[in-house]
Amino acid sequence: MDWESLARLLSQTYGDPRHGNPTDPTDSLFYLMLSRKTPIATAGRIFSRLQEASARWDRLADMPEAEIAELLAGSGLEAIRAGHLRRVAGLLRERFGLVTLAPLRNWSDEDCLTFLSALPGVGMKTALCVMLYGLERQVFPADVHCIRVLGRMGVIDAHLAHRPAQRRLAVMVPEHLGYALHVNLVAHGQQVCRAGAPKCGACVVREFCAHGAADGLKIAEETEPYRV
């Protein structure tokens, strides 16, 4: 894979969007916990509501889970999310004296990943996203869109499960391209290389795609969806 050319074309097309992710690491953690399997617009509204009610996270560790769940109305799985959020806030305060991730700015990438991925409700992808968006680390979180697009391109086995795909891509993607490739592959997967009906005719990186470059492939939008 010519990662440099792929990253350049995607950046020119989508402009490196942040997808609503805050720059502060603590904000980023809670936003990402809320945005999992939730539309960005909905997650943004609930994030602002929760942040205001918890006085920028300081009260979150002491709020009853039922109260947190009410603030999360509309996000789905409110009771489970409320439990995770309260426990994470408590663990951060216990470790750092405040509900904050600021001390991680001085930690190694390995220590950050180990600490974050051990938090309740936080997996490897969320941990890497916090590192990418909130700590400006050169890492590559592979979400479902990234994995789908790169699977169709033939970079990885299209049938590979999420966790092994994340581990594989973490060592394949050049570190300095992690941010650009992540944010723009997400945008590309949302807008063009969609799960059910990819718009191959509108794809700016079709030349890299094992499916799109296949002999005899019809690239009009009406083409039958891929079965991968």
Residues in the chain: 228
CA dihedral 18, 99, 117, 112 (to 10 degrees): 80
Q: Which residue has the higher pLDDT, 120 or 197?
A: 120
Average the pLDDT over 42-61 and give the result.
Answer: 91
CA distance 139 to 133: 10
At a CB cut-off of 8 Å and minimum separation 6, what does 78 contact? 69, 70, 72
State the average pLDDT for the chain: 90
Highest-pLDDT range among 114-118, 122-126, 203-207: 114-118
Average the pLDDT over 61-88 and give the result.
Answer: 94
Q: Is the pLDDT of residue 196 over 90?
A: no
Give me the residue label for tokens 């405040």: 98
Do residues 107 and 115 make contact, with C-beta atoms less than 8 angstroms apart?
A: yes
The dihedral region occupied by 116, where left means phi > 0, alpha psi between -120 and 50, and beta the remainder, is alpha
CA distance 175 to 185: 15
Average the pLDDT over 106-114 and give the result.
Answer: 97
CA distance 133 to 178: 11
Could you please state the CATH topology (level 3) that the domain comprising 3-15+142-208 is classified under: Endonuclease Iii, domain 2 (1.10.1670)
Q: Is the pLDDT of residue 59 over 90?
A: yes
pLDDT of residue 55: 86
What are the residue boundaries of the structural domains of the chain, listed by start?
3-15+142-208, 25-134
pTM: 0.88
What superfamily would CATH give domain 25-134? Hypothetical protein; domain 2 (1.10.340.30)
- Grade residue 36 by pLDDT with cuts at 50, 70 and 90: confident
What sections of the chain are H helices per DSSP?
3-14, 25-35, 40-53, 65-71, 78-96, 109-117, 124-129, 144-153, 162-172, 178-191
At a CB cut-off of 8 Å and minimum separation 6, what does 19 contact? 40, 183, 186, 187
Name the nearest CA neighbour of 26 among 58, 4, 52.
58
Average the pLDDT over 110-131 and give the result.
Answer: 96
Q: Is the pLDDT of residue 213 over 80?
A: no
- Grade residue 217 by pLDDT with cuts at 50, 70 and 90: very low
At a CB cut-off of 8 Å and minimum separation 6, what does 201 contact? 219, 220, 221
Average the pLDDT over 162-175 and give the result.
Answer: 92
- Grade residue 37 by pLDDT with cuts at 50, 70 and 90: confident
